[in-house]
Amino acid sequence: MASVGAVSPAVAPRDALARARVRAALVPDLLIEARRVVNTVIAGWHGRRKRGIGENFWQFRPYVDGEAIARIDWRRSARDDHTYVRDREWEAAHTVWLWADPSASMLFQSKTASVSKDSRALVLALALAELLSRSGERIAWPGLTDPFSARNGAERLAAQMMHAANLPTRPNLSTMKRFSDVVLISDFLDPVEETREWLDTLATRGVRAHLIEISDPAEEEFPYSGRTEFQDPETGTKLTAGRAETLREDYRNLYAARREELSAWARKLGWSYTVNHTDKLASDALVRVHLAMSQGSR
Amino acid sequence: MGFLPLSFGLPAVLAGLLALPVIWWLLRLTPPKPQTEAFPPLKILARVLRKEETPHQSPWWLTLLRLAMAALIIFALAEPVFNPRERISTGGNAVAIVIDNGWASAPDWAMRVASAERLIADAQAENAPVLIAFTVDAPNAEIGPFDAEAARERLNAAEARPVPVDRAATYERVAQALAELPNTSVAVLSDGLASEADDAAFDRLLANAGGLIWATPQGVTEIGLTATANEPDAFVVEAVRPTADAGPRQAVVAALDDRGRRIAEAQLSFGAGEAAATAAFAVPFELRNDFNSVAVDGEAQAGAVRVLDENSRRRRVGLIAQGDGDEAQPLLSPLHYISRALAPFADLVEPSSADLGSAIPELLEQRPAMIVMADVGTLPDEAHAALTEWVEGGGTLVRFAGPRLAAAEPDEDLLPVRLRIGERALGGTLSWTEPQAIAEYPQGSPFADLTPPADVTVSRQVLAEPTADIVERSWVNLADGTPLVTGARRGDGTLALFHITPQATWSNLPISGSFVELLRRLVQLSRNQGPGNAQTGNGEATLPPYRLIAADGSLVPPTPDARPLAVSTEAAVTIENPPGLYGTEEGVVAHNLLPQDATLEPIARPETPLAVRDVAYGFDEQVDLRGPLFAIALALMILDTLAVLWLGGKLRRPRAARAVPAALALALIGAISMPDAHAQAQGEETDIQPGDEEAIAAISQTRIAYVLTGDSSIDAISRAGLEGLGRFLSAKTALEPGEPVGVDIAVDELAFYPLIYWPIDEGSEMPSQAALARIDAYMQDGGTVLFDTRDQFGAGFDAGSASPSTMRLRDILANMNVPPLEPVPDDHVLTKAFYILPEFPGRFNGSPLWVEASQTVEEMADRPVRVGDGVTPIMITANDLAGAWAIGGNGAPMLPTVPADPMQRVYAYRAGVNIMMYMLTGNYKSDQVHVPSILERLGQ
């Protein structure tokens, strides 16, 4: 009888990119609600359905004293006795940091899962990159790229990742500025205290983070029984259980408690916390994160 | 192990059991190998695992299993033997085994071989040579001494033989061999039955012996059949059993035919202490003749089987006549009717010469059961004496009268009665008497239970002198009391005389069936006088073996060592002449094992000064336990493997598998219930009967029927007319009738149709009474027939004249129950069922429409409309309604109306509509009378 789970080889970013494109095509253009980031606006490509700085005509409105004369649209004003100002649609973009956990534990894939956690995480990250760059947002990968804006953002990310040597297990989060969004995709299996300590820097800077937990069904269900030797793929530590099925209940309680604690903490900070199982579709998580990014700050 | 019949070949190996505690200790320390799994959330798991102590030892039951396995293997290696047999120490330098393999050994021969094998094995253990001899064997058979292997071969080659043992000869040979091997133990494996000269044989055998091992069967229960006899009323079998077998005993003797089929059985019961018994097959004579052998059920040995030859069955009958008839005229031959009557159930023997002096001795050589002499007058003295002796010895002599006997001197010895010289003629030209019939057979006659023939008359006979005992000697009398057949006992034999010729000259008895019956009864009374001798005078004649009795009592083809049987002498049953049938298919002689006077005495152990050891026969029951122990150990090993797999969590069934039993059960239930469903479907199918489809078609729409007259033009008009009416109905009313139907009133079901239109055609055949009865029943059941004579203008001008169609209608109605009729009155419902119609025209106009007369005017005085209830079962018109209704394919009328008035056709259709409405709605339109008053109330 084969093992329940196995450590699969790391997924090639090019392959993940293709799959990510497919995922991204399913999701409507991502629209980031960025009301709070007035000061850091940089012109984006997508209208915000409101008056603001942009290229596209939005509306004519009567000239109010005190406005710059230069803004009067003489052409329109010549048609009747009033003077009009041409308003343009407000267009904005902001920076979204994307990061997928490259650690060894992410390479795990059980028999019931369709892909490994690593693969799923990369697909999600690239799908978001594709979405965001299509919307004209600036994207970045901590430790890999600075924020950039490009149509082919996902491709550029994938190419950079291929050429990059070993990525650090924990990225340097200090480069992230206020009002930017961070998407962190990991399994968050470290003790909650460590994770919180690591993410506290983001919380203090006012960065809005979206945590996506990739979970393998075997990790959640614990379908092991009999005499089993468990091995940690990261550290290589071994543990032997005489009758694994007796541990199931306790383990599941602990596992669920970890997730509950982490997600409660995230919610308290106004962050989103999304769980994605590798035996489910990646689109589930994509849609939820999309929703959280566009409306989460309301 | 004193409490168990168990011994070990290598007890030293059992010391290995001491290693068990070490094994136990080792096993306790070796846990099963775990399954390795990669598991990222190990840190979480580690917090859980801290609480539990990981078992580092095997579970106790696994250890126990493995210990048991080890113990079993140690036991198996020690070569355990269950039920170890006792070693028979033969003693002496050699062993001589003398085995009885006669017929009585056959049932448990295998046990004897087993016992002998044990002796051989023990002799082998002591390295003693073995002599082995069989009491039924070829005189030159090798008896040894052999080594154990050769002795075994010899033993396995031997088998029980269906012949008596010959101890004297065998023991003599063994004794001679023993003379050279002093101090030899002699093992006698006897069959338990004594034979002649046993004492002398044992004395000779034990003269040089060094010891005696004596084995006899525990109880000898063989039943032997010693004799068979075909008595007149039953077939009797005599049986003996060993005298030692004293209790009452029942057995069944079966009679088998030549193919081994069981055709009769009889009960054999030995009383307590009786050694002999008889069984009687009370079966008909014909069946007895089919007996080929008799055998005792459940006795698998040759003594319980007896084969039967011709002697036991068909009687030989000698035929003697003088002055044989011409070969060209066989019907006149005196023996013709006799031989024809006897041939089916007796063997007929005729002498080669006509000279009585040599013919009679020649016949007597054959030892016939019966001799028939046809009209033999005087016998030569020698022949007379021989014949008399034969009769007194049990022969049956049947004589027929004739001119010679009538002319001969009375013969006291060979005639049952004194005869008068000359014969008596009845019914001749000069005689007053009539030919005499045969009276009832007298009581006491052997023919008493037969029915005398009514059509036999005797016109001539020889007469017996009246004597005092003539009545008891008369077996058949004529109607006037004169004896026709007389008989008497002579010694053990019987004399019978037919007072008529054996041809049909004196009477017609010889050509009647009674003649056969009488002769057959006489043959049954006779008894064969010893075995027949086919090759008379040839003393060296031999018969080849034909079917032999095997040792187990079955009949088998001849074995190679069977030799032909010399018939002349009383041959003994030997290994060369085993019991069975000898001869060919044409005739066989039975050679049976047991003589008639045989008894089965138990053998006695010889008195001897030697050391005697009694041994019981028995199979070697020791069982080597090595194989079973290893098998159990192997099974435990498989169990252990499964347990280890289970402990490793590898025996978890996939989830889907759990659904399998349920699915199986469902499938099973389905399979069980399927036949029911199938049967149901079949039941539905069988409900369908021929004609159902027509019936369904007839009742799924309202259809008007017309009677098929047989005239195709009339039938076509009827059909077209009803079609036209149907169209008119569909157009004007809510009724949409189906296709009109032509019915054959003699065959078709009529009940489906509300109205049957019957055009009367005088040219067609008058309907049968049965058909008219059907029409009548249809009318009584609520149907209506519309008769149409179509001859309004066909009748003559005379008031009383009637057209042929009308005449035909009268003929038809004469056979039916027709109610009183009347022309449709003005207030009849028919006049207002749909249209208001004063008249009902067809192609013609003027003929009234006759309907059943409604109630009288007086009763209905207060009603504005007549006819309260019911629909008239009959309507008669002469207006040719169908002719007016008939339309062609294009919808145009086919026939002109007379006179050619278009309105008349419209009225004709309206008449049809009214008739149909009346048919379907009955009288409800009677209520139309209330319409005026209702309208009035409504204020109109």
Sign of CA dihedral B121, B122, B126, B129: negative
From B521-525, B734-738, B853-857, the region with the lowest mean pLDDT: B853-857
- CATH code of the domain covering residue B515: 3.40.50.880
Do B630 and B710 fall within a single domain?
A: no
How many domains does chain B fold into? 6
Do B211 and B233 fall within a single domain?
A: no
Q: What is the pLDDT of residue B934?
A: 81
Question: First CA to last CA across chain B, in angstroms?
Answer: 129
Higher pLDDT, B796 or B573: B573
Element (H, E) at B78: none
The number of angstroms, rounded, from the C-alpha of B242 to the middle of its chain's C-alpha atoms is: 38
Closest C-alpha among B770, B721, B783 to residue B744: B770
* pLDDT band, residue B872 (cuts 50/70/90): confident
| Mutual angle of helices B356-365 and B381-392, in 10-degree steps | 30
Do B40 and B101 fall within a single domain?
A: no
Q: Which amino acid is at B701?
A: Q
Whether the bond between B899 and the residue before it is cis, its omega within 30 degrees of 0, is yes
Q: What is the pLDDT of residue A297?
A: 42
Provide mean pLDDT across the span B300-321: 78
Instruction: Name the residue among A228, A232, A251 with its Cβ closest to that of B34.
Output: A228
A240/B650 CB distance under 8 A:
no
Closest C-alpha among B171, B91, B90, B159 to residue B133: B171
Provide mean pLDDT across the span B293-297: 86
Sign of CA dihedral B411, B413, B417, B418: positive
Q: CA B732, CA B834: separation in Å to the nearest integer? A: 10
Closest C-alpha among B84, B49, B1, B10 to residue B624: B84
Do B701 and B816 fall within a single domain?
A: yes
Element (H, E) at A90: strand A84-93
Q: CA A68, CA A72: separation in Å to the nearest integer? A: 8
Residue B349 domain boundaries: 319-525
From A20-34, B343-357, B889-903, the region with the lowest mean pLDDT: A20-34
- Decide if B131 contacts B177 (C-beta within 8 A): yes
* pLDDT band, residue B667 (cuts 50/70/90): low
Q: At B811, list the tokens.
A: 């003929």
User: Which of A103, A240, A252 best tests the B interface by mutation, with the highest count of B CBs <10 A?
Assistant: A240
From A222-226, A267-271, B655-659, B752-756, the region with the lowest mean pLDDT: B655-659
Instruction: Name the residue among A226, A231, A247 with its Cβ closest to that of B649.
Output: A226
Highest mean pLDDT among B128-132, B376-380, B430-434: B128-132
The yes-or-no verdict on residue B583 having pLDDT over 60 is yes
CA atoms within 13 A on the CB side of A111: 9
Which residues of B are less than 8 Å from A6 in CB distance?
38
Residue B812 lies in a domain: yes
Residue B633 lies in a domain: yes
Q: Which single residue is written with the structure tokens 């019961």?
A: B269
From A37-46, A155-164, B431-440, B488-497, the region with the lowest mean pLDDT: A37-46
Q: CA B825, CA B601: separation in Å to the nearest integer? A: 120
Provide mean pLDDT across the span B171-178: 82
Closest C-alpha among A32, A286, A16 to residue A154: A16
Q: What is the pLDDT of residue B681?
A: 43
Higher pLDDT, A298 or B383: B383
Do B416 and B353 fall within a single domain?
A: yes
Q: At B452, list the tokens.
A: 């005398």
pLDDT per position as a tens digit, B102-135: 888 888 888 888 888 888 888 887 788 888 888 8
Whether the bond between B873 and the residue before it is cis, its omega within 30 degrees of 0, is no
* pLDDT band, residue B57 (cuts 50/70/90): low
Q: Which single residue is written with the structure tokens 């004519």?
A: A60
Q: How far is CA B686 from CA B366, B674, B675, B680, B786, in A?
A: 73, 18, 16, 10, 38
- A135 to chain B, closest Cα gap in Å: 36
Q: Count the helices and strands in chain A (H runs, E runs).
A: 8, 12
Do B301 and B360 fall within a single domain?
A: no
Which residues of B are less than 8 Å from A242 in CB distance?
52, 54-55
Q: CA B363, CA B370: separation in Å to the nearest integer? A: 10
Q: What is the pLDDT of residue A260?
A: 92
Contacts 24+ apart (CB under 8 A), B742-746: B742/B705, B742/B706, B742/B707, B742/B708, B742/B715, B742/B718, B743/B705, B743/B706, B743/B707, B743/B708, B744/B708, B745/B707, B745/B771, B745/B772, B745/B774, B745/B775, B746/B770, B746/B771, B746/B774
Residue B683 lies in a domain: no
Do B851 and B740 fall within a single domain?
A: yes
Share of residues in chain A with pLDDT > 70 (%) = 81
Q: What contacts B85, CB < 8 A, 6 or more positions away?
A: B118, B620, B621, B622
- B648 to chain A, closest Cα gap in Å: 5
B40/A232 CB distance under 8 A:
yes
Closest C-alpha among B700, B817, B689 to residue B752: B700
Higher pLDDT, B52 or B937: B937
Q: What integer best gives the mean pLDDT of chain A?
A: 78
Q: B648 to chain A: nearest residue by CA? A: A226
Instruction: Name the residue among B32, B34, B38 with its Cβ closest to that of A5.
Output: B38
Higher pLDDT, B147 or B586: B147
Q: What is the pLDDT of residue A31?
A: 38
B35/A234 CB distance under 8 A:
no
Residue B682 lies in a domain: no
Do B816 and B714 fall within a single domain?
A: yes
Q: Of chain A residues 77-116, which have a CB less than 8 A from chain B?
A: 105-106, 108
Of the candidates B470, B492, B525, which is a domain's last residue? B525
Q: At B923, list the tokens.
A: 């009288």
Residue B937 lies in a domain: no
Share of residues in chain B with pLDDT > 70 (%) = 84
- A1 to chain B, closest Cα gap in Å: 6
User: Which of B35, B37, B39 best tests the A interface by mutation, with the highest count of A CBs <10 A?
Assistant: B39
Q: What is the pLDDT of residue B664?
A: 58
- Decide if B728 contacts B885 (C-beta within 8 A): yes
Query: ipTM of the assembly?
Result: 0.71
B37/A230 CB distance under 8 A:
yes
Which residues of A are less than 8 Å from B47 in CB distance?
254
A224/B46 CB distance under 8 A:
no
Residue B43, chain A, CB below 8 Å: the answer is: yes
Residue B119 — left, alpha, or beta (φ > 0 → left; ψ -120 to 50 → alpha)? alpha
Element (H, E) at B524: helix B513-525
- Decide if B303 contacts B296 (C-beta within 8 A): no
Provide mean pLDDT across the span A22-41: 42
Q: What is the pLDDT of residue B911?
A: 92
Residue A233, chain B, CB below 8 Å: the answer is: yes
Sign of CA dihedral A186, A190, A196, A198: negative
Q: CA B119, CA B215: separation in Å to the nearest integer? A: 11
Q: What integer best gives the mean pLDDT of chain B?
A: 79
* pLDDT band, residue B632 (cuts 50/70/90): very high
- A295 to chain B, closest Cα gap in Å: 33
Q: What is the pLDDT of residue B535?
A: 40
Residue B813 lies in a domain: yes
Do B391 and B412 fall within a single domain?
A: yes
Query: For the CA atoms of B628, B634, B637, B641, what is the dihedral angle to 10 degrees?
Result: -140
Provide mean pLDDT across the span B632-657: 74
* pLDDT band, residue A146 (cuts 50/70/90): confident
Q: What contacts A56, CB < 8 A, 6 or more positions away?
A: A47, A88, A89, A91
Q: Which amino acid is at B409?
A: E
Residue B537 lies in a domain: no
pLDDT per position as a tens digit, B226-278: 888 776 677 888 888 887 777 888 888 888 887 878 888 888 888 888 888 88
- B48 to chain A, closest Cα gap in Å: 6
Q: What is the pLDDT of residue B635?
A: 92
The yes-or-no verdict on residue B768 having pLDDT over 50 is yes
Q: What is the pLDDT of residue A259?
A: 92
Reduced 3-state DSSP string for B875-909: EEECCCHHHHHCECCCCCECCCCCCCCHHHHHHHH
CB pairs below 8 Å between A and B: how many? 111
Do B580 and B512 fall within a single domain?
A: no
Share of residues in chain A with pLDDT > 90 (%) = 7
Q: At A254, list the tokens.
A: 């602990």
The yes-or-no verdict on residue A37 having pLDDT over 60 is no
Do B292 and B154 fall within a single domain?
A: no
Q: What is the pLDDT of residue B855?
A: 60
Do B449 and B564 fall within a single domain?
A: no
* pLDDT band, residue B214 (cuts 50/70/90): confident
- B642 to chain A, closest Cα gap in Å: 13
Provide mean pLDDT across the span B654-669: 52
The yes-or-no verdict on residue B212 having pLDDT over 60 is yes
The yes-or-no verdict on residue A112 having pLDDT over 80 is yes
Q: CA B575, CA B137: separation in Å to the nearest integer? A: 7
Domains and CATH numbers, chain A: 5-38+94-295 (3.40.50), 43-92 (no CATH)
Highest mean pLDDT among B75-89, B274-288, B683-697: B274-288
Higher pLDDT, B426 or B711: B711
Residue A226 — left, alpha, or beta (φ > 0 → left; ψ -120 to 50 → alpha)? left
Q: CA B453, CA B480: separation in Å to the nearest integer? A: 15
User: What is the residue-wise DSSP string for A23-49?
Assistant: HHHTSPPP----TT-GGG-EEEEEEEE
B52/A246 CB distance under 8 A:
yes
Of the candidates B525, B554, B580, which is a domain's last residue? B525
Q: What is the pLDDT of residue A28?
A: 45
Which residues of A are less than 8 Å from B652 in CB distance?
225
Q: CA B184, CA B186: separation in Å to the nearest integer? A: 6
Q: What is the pLDDT of residue B532?
A: 45
Q: What is the pLDDT of residue A78?
A: 92
3-class DSSP state of B847: coil
Of the candidates B525, B557, B579, which is a domain's last residue? B525
Instruction: Name the residue among B36, B45, B55 with its Cβ closest to that of A242.
Output: B55
Residue B560 lies in a domain: yes
The yes-or-no verdict on residue B355 having pLDDT over 70 is yes
Question: First CA to last CA across chain A, in angstroms?
Answer: 51
Q: CA B423, CA B505: separation in Å to the nearest integer? A: 13
Element (H, E) at B726: helix B712-732
- CATH code of the domain covering residue B144: 3.40.50.410
3-class DSSP state of B71: helix
- Decide if B279 contacts B249 (C-beta within 8 A): no
Name the phi and psi angles at B190, rounded to 5. Answer: -95, 165
* pLDDT band, residue B537 (cuts 50/70/90): very low
Strands (E), B610-733: 612-615, 623-624, 705-707
Q: CA B122, CA B129: separation in Å to the nearest integer? A: 11
- Decide if B55 contacts A242 (C-beta within 8 A): yes
Strands (E), A94-203: 95-100, 108-110, 138-140, 181-186
Which residues of A are less than 8 Å from B54 in CB distance?
240-242
- Decide if B914 contacts B908 (C-beta within 8 A): no
Q: What is the pLDDT of residue B139?
A: 77
- Decide if B123 contacts B130 (C-beta within 8 A): yes
The yes-or-no verdict on residue B658 having pLDDT over 60 is no
pLDDT per position as a tens digit, A78-111: 998 889 988 876 665 678 888 888 888 888 888 8
